[in-house]
Homo-oligomer: A and B are copies of this chain.
Amino acid sequence: MKKLTVGVDIGGTNTVSGLVDNEGKCYGTLSFKTRDFVVFDDYIDRLCQDINNLKKVAKIEYELAGIGIGAPNANYFTGNIENPANLHWKDKAGNDLTIIPFVEMVKRHFPSTPVAMTNDANAAALGEMYYGGAKGMQDFLVITLGTGLGSGFVSKGDVIYGHDSFAGELGHICVEKGGRRCGCGNRGCLEAYVSAPGIKRTVFEVLAETNSTSELSNFTIENLESKDIYEAATRGDAVALEAFERTGEVLGMGIAAAVAVTSPEAVFLFGGLAKSGKYILEPTKKYMEQYMLKNFRNKIKLLPSGIDSANAAILGASALAWQKYNQLHADEK
């Protein structure tokens, strides 16, 4: 019988599950509002109900090969979500949960199925490796650009988790001593410059410096969105173009640092900002080459993600399930 895995994407807003084969084809998804469940046990009951109900959605007989979960602050080693900023569950007694034993709870419902969990950016890296542009690569990194900057590093064909599973925080390397305040509390983090809010801050920085007119002058810091900056750039707006140039410089510098440490074959950009195409890729490529050590120059590919963004989070999580399945299968041999 055909084997399929379930990929689960846990976000502050939605919890989405999808059935995925080993080529990244998605056979159906189900979702619910994460905040509809305050008590963690109830949340898990509903999630596992969805995982079972995927049978009805998919028009195919299958054997469940594994469940992979992508979540913020997920610890791959323990299977816990640790101190998440945007997920708030209580135990049955009404106490706030800070260390959430996610994998253990899912396994109670699926005792004979392999279950694994990792954070969103690591899941994105696994998705890229199993189904996307990193197929066959052993050493690469994926940078996810959204409200923050996430990163997943793959070395020798597996994710670098580090000692405590929290490796891959490229968004919080300091790129400007005493620079912009970051959401993490530090100053000058890469994420404070390269992310949706980051490029917005840069637009206002450029507007403050320039005399030239810009269609972006009509926006407040509240209502400006990434797509407005992109669209202004397509119309040749100098402020928008300068914001992309500066964003590309800082991202290129950050990538050069990542390259110096891990020497990847390729760097993949994923997420909202990455959709700005050449406006972000071209300056990033230019500055990445400039800031890199000579022996890395003109060797490292900078590529947009090869994963369809609609189901990307599900695909990444399912890739983790396939990895777990393959590891168990290899041990059986």
Contacts and interface: CB of A to CB of B under 8 A. Distances in A.
A174 B253 CA distance: 7
Nearest to A300: B163
Interface string A143-163: 000000001010110101111
Contact of A264 (B83, B138, B162, B265): B162
A167 B261 contact: yes
Given A164-B299, A166-B263, A184 B293 contact: yes
Task: Tell me how many chains of this kind the complex includes.
Answer: 2
A139 B187 CA distance: 27
A186 interface: yes
Task: Report whether over half of chain A's contact residues are helix, strand or loop; otherwise say mixed.
Answer: loop
Nearest to A73: B295
B174 A257 contact: yes
A3 to B, nearest CB: 27
A294 interface: yes
Quick one: which of A162, A171, A262 has the most chain B CB within 10 A? Answer: A162
Contacts of A238: none
A173 B264 contact: no
A293 B187 CA distance: 10
A62 interface: no
A118 to B, nearest CB: 13
Contacts of A186: 290-291, 293
A127 to B, nearest CB: 20
Contacts of A219: none
B162 A139 contact: yes
Contacts of A23: none
A176 interface: yes
24 contacts: A137-B163, A139-B163, A140-B163, A153-B262, A155-B162, A155-B167, A156-B158, A160-B263, A162-B264, A163-B263, A163-B264, A163-B265, A165-B263, A166-B263, A167-B262, A168-B261, A169-B263, A169-B293, A172-B260, A173-B260, A173-B261, A174-B257, A184-B294, A257-B261
